[in-house]
Structure 1
Amino acid sequence: MKVMVVGANGQIGKQVVEKLQHSEHTVTAVVRKQEQVNEFKNKGIEAALLDLEGKVDSLTEAFTVADAIIFAAGSGGHTGPDKTLLIDLDGAVKTMEAAEAAGVERYILVSAFDADKRENWNAEMRPYYVAKHYADRMLEQSKLNYTIVKPGGLINENALGKVTVGVDAEPSTITREDVADVLVASLEEANTYQKSFNVVNGTLPIKEALKNL
């Protein structure tokens, strides 16, 4: 499967790209700066320079070679609500529109724990949750074969390899590497198709947990 990772220079995106590079899939890292393109190409990884604040047509043209899109992009914690809306919401929706127009069926989106439950949102991060909430809803209303992965609090520790998913996932943390593993494992796991689920570190191996969704 030819997979394009949008937000490939982010903390989760980088790990997704590295894992796909050493899998049966082929990967293209989608980034927003030329120096990032150069860094990936120096590692032998195909890369594409695309602007999520640009036109959908440019994204569509790039996506025509893909079988799947993994959207792991984000405006980051150092930007304001305006960038959150432009990247986490509008940027995500643009890639959905482009994927549909390009004939890409498989689309995986990184969201946030309980993004569908307004009453559980962190007050200090409301713009972020608003963006995730509506991006999720737009994906669910699309024609794409989607999976929405909603991780708990992200931590930078070594992967544990075990998770709890769906309704059994209580608010907790998950390593970024485990999120990356969930995204890659979801690509061809039919039980994740057309589903949205919370995920935290837990008790089951990732592939087993996804099969039990």
Structure 2
Amino acid sequence: MKKTLIIGASGQIGKKLTQLMLNDGNDVVALVRDKSKLSDITDKNLHVIEADLTGNFGHAFKQCTNVVFVAGSGGETGADKTILIDLWAACRSADYAKENAVKHFILVSSIGADAPSTGPESIQPYLIAKHVADEHLMRSGLHYSIVRPGTLTNDDAKGKFTTERPAQKGDATVTREDVAKALLFIVNNPSKENTLTELFNGSKNISETFK
């Protein structure tokens, strides 16, 4: 059975993705800093590994076919944590994946990572971190899918998507649950080509969005 490593499995999107993948019958390795945050999920196909992303976590990649990096430092932390997690841990994850011959690396980035200097000054360190992590993965030689979601919301899933950036900034949003559903689809239906996709709620079904 294919085994998928989810890095940041206890985060807001990561936990939703973990549950969706288990519901779908996938074998999941959940890498978390505090395993108690997944104590409410029990499944024979769930393997939890506790590790700090600022330390050595290469052992988590062994025998994994896919990797989904959905970890983030969080909006309440400073630029130091952003650099350590969103940039450095993401880059190291790509390196570990290559060492372990991972078949597909899926990275959750952010809208605006293509041009960090044009974003609001307050989030430029975050966008720069995402930009550098994206570039590192693209140069890694790994088969990759980079997803750049719009502004994240906690609304109920809409189940409809678009990869075209809306004209109005206020419409450039996507629910966290829909991001998780998109990641599940990408894991189960990997593109033959490397992809970099912006993602928003829209009018298309998931299969139309990632055809």
The answer to whether TM tops 0.5 is yes
Counterpart for residue 46 of structure 1:
47
Matched, 1:30 2:26: no
Of residues 133, 136, 142, the one that matches 1:135 is 133
The answer to whether structure 1 residue 197 and structure 2 residue 193 are counterparts is no
CA contact (8 A) 1:31 1:48 kept: yes
Matching residue of 1:181? 181
- Contact residue 30 and residue 48 of structure 2 kept, 8 A: yes
Distance 2:16 2:186 in 1: 15
Indicate the SS of the match to 1:187: helix
Q: State the alpha-carbon separation in 2 of the partners of residues 142 and 51 from structure 1.
A: 23
8 Å Cα contact 1:113-1:151 kept in structure 2: yes
2: CA distance, partners of 1:48 / 1:90? 20
Alignment-derived partner of residue 71 in structure 2 = 73
Alignment of 1:58-207 (within 5 A): 59-165=57-163, 168-170=164-166, 171=169, 172-191=172-191, 193-207=193-207
Whether the aligned pair in 1 keeps the contact of 2:150 and 2:174 (CA below 8 Å) is yes
Q: Return 59-68 or 106-115, whichever deviates more.
A: 59-68
Letter in 2 for 1:86: L
Task: Verify the 8 A CA contact 1:3 1:27 in the aligned structure 2.
Answer: yes
C-alpha distance after superposition, 1:160-209 (max 9, x if no partner): 111101xx222411000000011111114343741111110001011211
CA distance in 1, matches of 2:98, 2:52: 18
Aligned residues: 204
Structure 2's unaligned 5+ residue stretches are none
| Paired letter, 1:185 | F
**Structure-1 separation of matches of 2:84 and 2:117:** 24
Alpha-carbon deviation of 1:143? 1.5
Which residue in the other structure is 2:210 paired with? 210
CA distance in 2, matches of 1:192, 1:82: 36
Deviations 1:121-169 (A, max 9, x none): 222101100100000000000111100000000000111111101xx22
Q: Which has the higher helix share?
A: 1
**What 5-or-longer segments of structure 1 have no aligned partner?**
none
Q: For the aligned residues, what is the CA RMSD?
A: 1.6
For 1:18, what is the secondary structure of its paired residue? Answer: helix
C-alpha contact (below 8 Å) 1:106/1:145 kept by paired residues: yes
Matches of 2:53 and 2:134, distance apart in 1: 17
CA drift at 1:119: 4.8
